[in-house]
Amino acid sequence: MTAGTELRLADLFRLTGKRAVVTGASSGLGMRFSRVLAEAGATVFAAARRADRLESLAAQHPGIKPVTCDVCDPAQLATLVEESGPVDVLVNNAGMGGAATIEAEPLDVLRQVMDVNFVAAFELCRLVGASAPQTGASIINVASIQGLVAGHPLGSASYSASKGALIALTRETAAQWGRRNIRVNALAPGWFRTEMTADLFADEPASRFVARNTMLGRAGEGAELDGALLFLASDASSYTTGQVLVVDGGWTAR
């Protein structure tokens, strides 16, 4: 391999000059995704409700711009896109979990989970798609393996439904916008140690269940999503759209 080839390969994953929006950026994967995109050269508009956490995140990298935003408020979503646009990369990461059994999930819980996990992503896709630069854009919907397979006994009906809907939205918007070079893909993590799953992994039987049913015999670490995120965000995936990239240690292959 020549030095020139190595340089071109490295450039495939660069995001220099790109403008990115990451929702749910005040914790967990969203915080990490913001840092990864900024390290790759993007200006990242990190959006979430907790302003203090966003300020702390922005202090870690000059390329991260904090934006206080409630994703359940359409007016705030419109302002987010207006202030950060034109958006080259959108990462719909904001999410929340549900109860363990459907009996414990009345309609108000379902509506809340759907609003955060799906409706907000739908609206942001719509806004970014309408104002995307002529060169195109990459939209990454952070789904879950629970949108593909049942999560019981660790899953949630409302959460699974929201992630399944997000995957369907990914396919449909990819089809509608392909000729405009707007690529839409879903990133579907398996069981990762994050702030959202802290209680799950603090429970020894649940933690053993994850390890026992994952081909690699363990939960994932946040860094193991970095490559998948950069692939979907960058020109490395220029001919990839409408796809679900599963990163789950082999969970869904069983």
* 159 annotated active-site: yes
Question: Among candidates 43, 87, 22, 39, which has minimal Cα distance to 223?
Answer: 39
End-to-end CA distance of the chain: 37
Question: Per the structure, how many domains does the chain have?
Answer: 1
pLDDT tens per residue across span 36-55: 999 999 999 999 999 999 99
Task: For 76-109, give one letter per residue: b (16+ CB within 10 A) or e.
Answer: bbeebbeebbebbbbbbbbbbbbbeebeebeeeb
pLDDT at 6: 60
Structural domain contains residue 207: no
Q: How confident is the model at residue 118 (pLDDT cuts 50, 70, 90)?
A: very high
Residue 75 belongs to a domain with what CATH number? 3.40.50.720
Report the alpha-carbon distance of residue 68 to residue 57 in Å, rounded.
12
Structural domain contains residue 157: yes
Structural domain contains residue 209: no
pLDDT at 4: 60
Q: Name beta bridge partners: 158.
A: none
Structural domain contains residue 253: no
Given a cut of 90, is residue 245 above it in pLDDT? yes
Structural domain contains residue 204: no
Residue among 33, 45, 118, 159 flagged as catalytic: 159
Structural domain contains residue 243: yes
Cβ neighbours for 229, distance < 8 A, ≥ 6 positions apart: 33, 36, 37, 91, 140, 187
Q: How confident is the model at residue 72 (pLDDT cuts 50, 70, 90)?
A: very high
Q: Is 163 exposed, middle or buried (0-12, 13-18, 19+ CB in 10 A)?
A: buried
Report the alpha-carbon distance of residue 51 to residue 54 in Å, rounded.
5
Domain that holds residue 105: 11-194+223-247
pLDDT tens per residue across span 136-173: 999 999 999 999 999 898 889 999 999 999 999 999 99
Structural domain contains residue 154: yes
pLDDT tens per residue across span 195-213: 888 888 888 999 999 999 9
Structural domain contains residue 32: yes
Phi-psi map region of 249: left, alpha, beta (phi>0 left; psi -120 to 50 alpha): left
pLDDT at 85: 83
